A and B are shown apart, each in its own frame.
Chain A
Amino acid sequence: MCGAKQGGLDLKGVDVDKEAVIQGQVLRGEEPVGGAYVRLLDSTGEFTAEVPTSATGHFRFFAAPGSWTLRTLAPKADPVDRQVVAQYGEVAEVAVTV
């Protein structure tokens, strides 16, 4: 889950030493899902941020170090929750399948 992987979002311009980045891609089978909504919930389950996915299904958050939940909403699919740990100096990559 951790460590930037090939094919992930380009990190140009992002200071990963100072940002606890969580990013990834939403997929339906092998196909990327654009226009899905990924919500970042804190360790108490409270909403912190939300982004729509890009046309290639990608999303990115600049979190604080700690444990988070990603909740993904997509058309014609049930919400999917994924746990993730963020820290400075590392990029947490998450693939979400709906």
Chain B
Amino acid sequence: MSRESALVSADWVEEHKNDAGVVLIEVDEDVSAYDAGHIAGAIKLDWKDDLQDPVRRDFVNKDQFQALLSDRGVKNEDTVVLYGGNNNWFAAYAYWYFKLYGHGDVKLLDGGRKRWELDSRELTDEVVKREATEYKAKDPDLTIRAFRDEVNEAIGVKNLVDVRSPDEYAGRLLAPAHLPQEQAQRAGHIPTAANIPWSKAANDDGTFRADDELKQLYADAGVDFGKDTIAYCRIGERSAHTWFVLHEILGQENVKNYDGSWTEWGSLVGVPVALGDEPGEA
């Protein structure tokens, strides 16, 4: 993977949004954002109602994913272009699902909704309905998804990258600061994890920084590119953004997203937790 294959620009979207075989999909944390205005022709996926299992703490399985995409009119051979608010956090999270379930051609709009809005580009509230398809998902690719036992074994062995803000990493905050802070789990981080906030990989306008700057960022923070890497955050969406940077833009192999992330780890009995600004010992 590379920047050229994984990212498209706003100009590209303006030029190709009406092409047959191109499907724009908006995914936001604020699920009402799409209804107020979206890029013409884009459909919406709700990160919670559409992409999470309604009962268990897990995301949709293969059958649920293919039923969802069939219902929304996405074909296996379509070029899917994802974008969203929050600097593409949830769009990157959905991108990771599309890769996990084996979609061939999926891309992220660089800068997402924010850059689009800051450029004063057009948004519409026109309702989009695509004809149903028979989408076939593949078995999940677990080379890009990490579970808790593997994370526990990775302490002091693999690169662990905590992409939350410094205050969440140190245990001074439990959630990103646009959300209320009362939570059940303990505060802190997984010992030996480097704190490389996802935001360091993005410019203020939400676009990704240049490849050489990105490589330097992770190398300076102690990521050994010769080792496997697991990224995590609070619920797995910001770490999908960092997974995207490492695996899709920089083309690093063996990078996994631990989507259980801090809401799971901080609630587990018997696992180590480090407090403060230092990574801590294995």
Contacts and interface: CB of A to CB of B under 8 A. Distances in A.
Q: Do A and B bind each other?
A: yes
Interface of A: 14-15, 18-19, 35, 37, 39-40, 42, 44, 46-52, 60-64, 71, 73-76, 79
Interface stretch (B7-15, B16-24, B150-158, B166-174): B166-174
A37 B85 CA distance: 10
B176 interface: yes
Contacts of B181: 18-19, 62
Interface centre among A14, A19, A52 (most CB of B within 10 A): A52
A52 B204 contact: no
Interface in B17-49: 30, 33
Given A71-B204, A73-B204, A76-B120, A48 B165 contact: yes
Contact of A46 (B87, B165, B173, B179): B165
Contacts of B86: 50
A48 B167 contact: yes
A79 B178 contact: no
A48 B182 contact: no
Contact of B120 (A44, A62, A64, A75): A75
Interface string B201-232: 00011000000000000000000000000000
3 tightest Cβ-Cβ pairs between the two chains A and B: A47-B199, A49-B177, A48-B165
B204 A62 contact: no
A73 B118 contact: yes
Given A48-B173, A49-B165, A52-B33, 16 more contacts: A18-B181, A19-B180, A37-B118, A40-B177, A42-B165, A44-B166, A48-B166, A49-B177, A50-B86, A50-B178, A52-B30, A52-B114, A61-B177, A62-B177, A62-B181, A63-B177
A37 B177 contact: no
Contact of B178 (A35, A49, A64): A49
B139 interface: no
Contact of B87 (A50, A64, A75, A76): A50
A39 B204 contact: yes
B27 to A, nearest CB: 15
Contacts of A14: 180
